[in-house]
Amino acid sequence: MYPIDVATLNEAATASRLRARFGSDGRARLEPEAGGVTGALGRIVAATFAAMDDEDWARLKLCGSPTCRWAFFDRSRNHSSRWCAMASCGNRAKARRFREQHTAHA
């Protein structure tokens, strides 16, 4: 995660006034006390926090293309995907690398 991303998440958590709440089943959850857009952002932060406890969290990745940077779920067997979509970002990266290698040799 980039430092600006951490600062953004911390600000959203603070602004939404996230609080721990317990259901009748005893399970804990985070809920924002703020309403509106700020509360909605707090719900996203709370969902992110809960998802980080799941073993699949490591499969959530950031696209390797510097012009894309979309988040995607890596469904590959060996957790090695680098791009959100091979047809677009992956293809562009490979074509760029091919051009750079052949330009250097020419």
Q: What is the largest CA-CA distance in the chain?
A: 70
pTM tops 0.75: no
Reading the chain (106 residues) residue by residue, the pLDDT tens digits are 556 688 888 999 999 999 999 999 999 999 999 999 999 999 999 998 988 888 888 888 888 888 887 888 898 999 888 888 877 787 777 778 888 888 876 6
CA distance 19 to 30: 5
CA distance 82 to 105: 27
